[in-house]
Structure 1
């Protein structure tokens, strides 16, 4: 099953993969070799710590490679700007009750980060917005109750 991902999300994963393979993996291998020189491996804490780090590092490399191989990379900036909310779009919303403006970008699960206003395609807000257009009013069911938004702007950046 293909998993939607933005270009930025895929680039971020590739950067992490390059770091793990090109920098972190060699550091760990060096730490293991150094720890081996200290003698008895049964009671060698540095050796066991380095082996544990190696396991985490190799696991993360496999995880990233799997995500990238299953990714359907969507470049929203190359799509015709129709004003419709789609995966990858940046949406400026007005909370009708509070008059507060908020901007969200709809991204894949792995990219979601509320602190950066990146919300998952599977979040209640994103599900409520997908397919709607600029000017639409939308009621989103959230854990705290229904929230009404007006879609002020949809950007494909």
Structure 2
């Protein structure tokens, strides 16, 4: 398996989730299964079936997180010599040249992308357009509504 790029903060979030799943969720599920077994006939026991289904989901997520973290390549953009350019892990403030709307994104790996938190995947069209650009540059992004242009207002490495 190839290296999975992650920011330090993204790796910490995944490790915290893994820890919670192993120390809180897994024991809770084991207790729920034990309680459901104590009720007797498992063939018609909805609580048992629900607990087993939840267990399968949690165990799958644990395995996924362990795989991701074991193949993670932590990238710290502040340690790179990038001369103010947008790179993986950089936080970039852009302005839509049509609407004047400003938004700040951090360019992160596919695994940690979350548009609600303004974390965009390095493989997204916006991030691909921003990579290598500096403050003052204008980028064009093909969107479903057509081509949109953005000006890079600020690049920082948090």
For Structure 1 versus Structure 2, the TM-score category normalised by the shorter chain is over 0.9
* 3-state SS of paired residue (1:43): coil
What is aligned with 1:106? 107
Tell me the TM-score normalized by structure 2.
Answer: 0.93
Inter-partner Cα distance in structure 1 for 2:103 and 2:38: 57
Q: CA deviation at 1:80?
A: 4.0
Provide the aligned C-alpha RMSD in A: 1.3
Inter-partner Cα distance in structure 2 for 1:138 and 1:45: 54
Question: Is 1:66 aligned to 2:67, yes or no?
Answer: yes
Mapping 1:83-122, distance limit 5 Å: 83-122=84-123
Q: CA deviation at 1:78?
A: 3.0
* 3-state SS of paired residue (1:153): strand
Tell me the TM-score normalized by structure 1.
Answer: 0.93
Q: CA deviation at 1:81?
A: 5.7
Q: CA deviation at 1:100?
A: 2.1
* 3-state SS of paired residue (1:115): helix
Gaps of 5+ in 1: none
Q: Return structure 1 stretches of 4+ with deviation > 6 angstroms.
A: none
What is aligned with 1:47? 48
* CA 156–81 in structure 1, closer or farther in 2 if over 3 Å, else same: farther
What is aligned with 2:137? 136
Gaps of 5+ in 2: none
